[in-house]
Structure 1
Amino acid sequence: MGITLDEASLLALFLETLFYGVFLTLYWLTLFILLKKCGVQRDLLLPVATLLLCIATAHLIIDFIRALEAFVFSVHTISADAYYSNLASPLELTKTALYITQPTIADAVLVWRCYVLSHRSLLVGIPGFIVLLTNGAIGYYVVWSLSRAGAGSTVYTTAPALITTFYILTMLISIICTTLISWRIYRTRRQTSDSLADLLPVVIVIIESGALYATSVLALLLAFLTGSNGQYPAMDIAPPIVGIVFCLIILQVHFHVGDPQPSSPLSQRASPIYFESEVSGMWVTARNR
């Protein structure tokens, strides 16, 4: 038996709160680290991390308000299931717009990181940002379509093709950019080192920056395609997960996670997998030939 809409909404609130707590903890650790940095590491990464936290916080507050209205304040006038079924509700539209904004920002950082790693090649940057802008436009058009939805409408009858397209493009951006980044790092490692142990940090970066994010989007896509209300928990945990991935990359770099000899400054400078991306916060630095 499938989960009902009100049950899915409560589960989504619980999971979102759980992941938000993880994100908030990682954010304060990241903040403590970035405040000791200077230059682009502090001036760019800190505002991006803070923006991601603000969006995730606003999203969580809206979900709490909706839960209070559905189960406390409006319980005598409208059922919780009917309340959550109103796609044109201002709070529903606002949280959906925030959801669209969060991965768009994260994907913009990912595309820019890929562009920088590709020696600022326009052949990488222009197509990447065109796809990113297209995906963002589709997402906000979906929000507009939901605002026009009438009584009895569902997400499965309101622009389902566009919603599916948004999920697919979001996942593809993550997978393709992560693949290009890892390929670039692998080529550099292959040219500068024969040690397979040097590949370990790259694997960790790929898992943290790509697999977790892409898997969450894939779960959301599958839930939507199967018509399951499980899509709501999958969608609501996305904003904090985006922030978690962003902070994990910074923390991994700071603590040299995956470095075979993290305590050796010489090994860090000589490591073929040591590339600094001044925008994304992922330092997988590669020696220049």
Structure 2
Amino acid sequence: MRRAIYNPVQKMTSSSFPITTAQLCGLFTESVVYGIYLVTCGYCAQHLFMIDGRWKRLREYHWAMVIVAALLLTFATLDVTTGFYHNLRAFVFYTGAGGATEAFSDLSFWVSVIKTANVLVTTNIGDGVLIYRCWIVHNKSWLVVAFSIILWFTSVACAIRILYSEITVHASALVLHEKSITPFMKTFWTLTIVINFVTTALLVSKIWRVDRQTRKYLYNSQMTTHTRYSSPLRYAIRVIMESGVLYTTFAFMTYVSYLAGSNWVYPITDMEVPVVGIAFNLIIIRAAARNAEASEPSRPQSWNSIHFRHDAGHTSLSSSRSKRFLDGSQFSNGALPHSPQKPSSALIA
């Protein structure tokens, strides 16, 4: 069996924040964030599997969101457990030269590979869901999301290349300083930041335009004198942007850590895995809260029957029996209103 040879030059640690400290901090911070994530999972599951106080029927499930939620929970749980074992092995079980520092420097060790895969796959899932939402909101227009899709496939290719290098490198070094990995890591996180920025901008701009047209219509309507219109679309914009900022902030901190060659990248990426799940869950949870607020009997229902219809290149308003548009209930399983003539945009949560 190959044993990593201890070499002080290959420790690749920061004097102020060594790899051993970074790994312990990463385990602690990820455990805290993972606990918060589990709480959000409970609320999210309630909305994904129940409706109006009863369990949903199979045909009522939004299977894409259920599968994504399950995958994110699986990878987050796997990352916490493997992280705990990694620390336990390095500080307790490892008896080779160099101690815990050398144990953490074994790039090809299966735990190191799994933890890297958890971060990369979870990030790609989060980016993919964001692109999917944008595609739905833009009436399933492939042209609108084409650039984001190209970037996403490029990031997937980078992730595959990173994992291949980590499995085959057979060297004693930290991922921060391995020349066959670092360029692809920097590229991966650059692509993630760009995908989030571009796709979120496309999402928000579309919803904002529809909301502006709605307000313009309502301003000219006599009905505005009877009730005040509270736009669920502006609420949707706020929810999307807040979740996007949370996710993108951690991606940006990871990118900066790689550029600086700092061991802070370890606790940051450890937290990144559950943070992606938290950002995903918060959209569903806050949409559910909006539903409950809008369904209160005391709230005015004058505008609940309005939805958008695309006709001859412009947006108009028409009546409908459904109230799922303005009260926000479609934020979780289908989204913005449906046109009787052709599919309309939808905000998938």
TM-score under structure 1 length normalisation? 0.88
Is the partner of 1:193 in helix, strand or coil? helix
Q: Using a 3 Å threshold, how does the CA distance of structure 1 residues 192 and 79 change in structure 2: closer, same or farther?
A: same
Q: 2:277 aligns with which of 228, 239, 243?
A: 243
Q: CA deviation at 1:197?
A: 6.3
Hey, what does 2:311 align to over in structure 1?
none
CA displacement 1:123-179 (0-9 Å, x = unmatched): 124433232122111112111112232434332233322111100101111111111
Distance 1:144 1:2 in 2: 31
Is the partner of 2:285 in helix, strand or coil? helix
Hey, what does 2:132 align to over in structure 1?
112
Hey, what does 1:17 align to over in structure 2?
31
Is the partner of 2:140 in helix, strand or coil? coil
Distance 1:164 1:151 in 2: 20
Is the partner of 2:50 in helix, strand or coil? coil
Give the aligned length. 285
Q: Using a 3 Å threshold, how does the CA distance of structure 1 residues 208 and 269 change in structure 2: closer, same or farther?
A: farther
Structure having the higher strand fraction is 2
Aligned: 1:51 with 2:84: no
CA displacement 1:245-273 (0-9 Å, x = unmatched): 1110000000019x7x6743625655769
Amino acid at match of 2:32: L
* 1:166-185 equivalence runs, <5 A: 166-185=188-207
Is the partner of 1:26 in helix, strand or coil? helix
Q: Using a 3 Å threshold, how does the CA distance of structure 1 residues 110 and 41 change in structure 2: closer, same or farther?
A: farther
Q: CA deviation at 1:214?
A: 0.4
Q: CA deviation at 1:188?
A: 0.3
Aligned: 1:63 with 2:83: yes
Hey, what does 2:46 align to over in structure 1?
32
- Larger Cα-atom Rg: 2
* 1:1-289 equivalence runs, <5 A: 2-37=16-51, 38=56, 39=59, 41-75=61-95, 78-155=98-175, 156=177, 157-194=179-216, 198=231, 200-256=234-290, 263=296, 264=299, 266=301, 274=328, 276=330, 281=332, 285=336
Would you say the 8 A contact 2:102–2:172 is kept in 1? Answer: no
Distance 1:161 1:76 in 2: 30
Distance 2:77 2:32 in 1: 12
Cα RMSD after superposing both structures: 2.7
Q: CA deviation at 1:41?
A: 4.5
Would you say the 8 A contact 2:148–2:198 is kept in 1? Answer: no
Which range moved further: 246-255 or 169-178? Answer: 169-178
Distance 1:4 1:88 in 2: 20
Q: CA deviation at 1:286?
A: 6.5
Would you say the 8 A contact 1:93–1:146 is kept in 2? Answer: yes
Runs (5+) with no aligned partner, structure 1: none
Which range moved further: 226-235 or 40-49? Answer: 40-49
Distance 1:152 1:139 in 2: 21
Which range moved further: 102-111 or 150-159? Answer: 150-159
Distance 1:282 1:107 in 2: 19
CA displacement 1:154-212 (0-9 Å, x = unmatched): 32233322111100101111111111000000000111115896364144213333100
Would you say the 8 A contact 1:2–1:229 is kept in 2? Answer: no
Q: Percent identity?
A: 28
